[in-house]
Structure 1
Amino acid sequence: MIRDLIIKNRSYRRFFQSDRISREQLTEWVELARFSASGRNAQSLRYILVTDEETGSQIFPLVSWAGFLKGWGGPAEGERPAAYIVMLHDSKISNNYYCDDGIAAQSIMLGAVEAGYGGCIMASVQRTKLREILSLEDRYEIIQVLALGRPAEKVVLEDIKDDDFKYWRDEEGVHHVPKRKLDELILY
């Protein structure tokens, strides 16, 4: 059921790094994005699929992992993503990608969750360095990086208390994500 997939689709930040993801699996998830809606149907998004550990280790330090988890520099060796999808905008097709990035990322992540994986969508990226590593042409704008793997952490949803929306980890390493109550979201 879609509701269950959405609830399971959390921002996972620790993975079983040795549980690799094939290029074919990433391709299947990008195909879900291909089938998704696109503003004006321009379809200007492009993707770089990264499954090799060497390129992954170059991408890893170029993304920010969890702003609210002070003092945590990201997953330790052995807990890092097994793969990445770098989402790009092709400026030769369109000046604007509208909301396509969010729609595509959600489609990819729901596909990953359905297959027993998970990930984290990261827009805080050192784009200049990543552009160099990937040898990108100027026409491609880096939008975000999707880190993917088999989750090695538990993430739970809970109601926001005292208007504090910051996620946090408890002593056992369980990741807590506060969510606003439904009656706060619907005005009338």
Structure 2
Amino acid sequence: MKISSERLGKRFRREWIFRNVELTLQSGTSYTFVGPNGSGKSTLLQTLIGVLPLSEGTIQYTLHGKPVESDEWFRHVVMASPYLELIEELTLLELLTFHQSFKPFKENRTPEQLCELMYLSHARHKEIKAFSSGMKQRVKLALAFYSEAAVVILDEPTSNLDKQGVAWYRERVLQLSDQLLLIGSNQPEEYDFCPNVIDISQWK
């Protein structure tokens, strides 16, 4: 997978969050976007994957040398962030089963196996609304780690995680070597393994 942007810009009302973003992002490596709080890291990530509309410029998605149509793009990307909501009325098993219906898990893993991998088997029949913020974040990360997707977006990935949860994150994120991994962070422990660190302040 390759994501290419040309003169990409995003504006809210009269304020430009970023302008003239020129990027070529390739599968098989990782990229971390850093910058002060409020600098637009999350906005850039969401714009790059089409969650937010761009204000100017173009973005092209290419898979195996062929363009990916915009209405098919969602099949190739998965995202985890503390501001994304889970369906809280579902139990953990119900949520995983629902997710699996439109985005399969790697190696044909089952929802039960995913519960074990995130150390939440004891809560598999509990509704998501009863989960702590740390448990919810672990679920979001597991969906990103184990879904079949060419692009993985992790925005502030260790938010709400305790020390054990951070260790769990680091062990698993290092296994994403074949995918295109994009991280938004200001915490070195979230990205110190990443070979490409990009300061978004250059596009202000």
Which TM bucket (shorter chain)?
Answer: under 0.3
Normalising to structure 2: TM-score of the pair? 0.26
Task: Give the TM-score normalised by structure 1.
Answer: 0.27
- The structure whose residues are more often strand, as a share, is 2
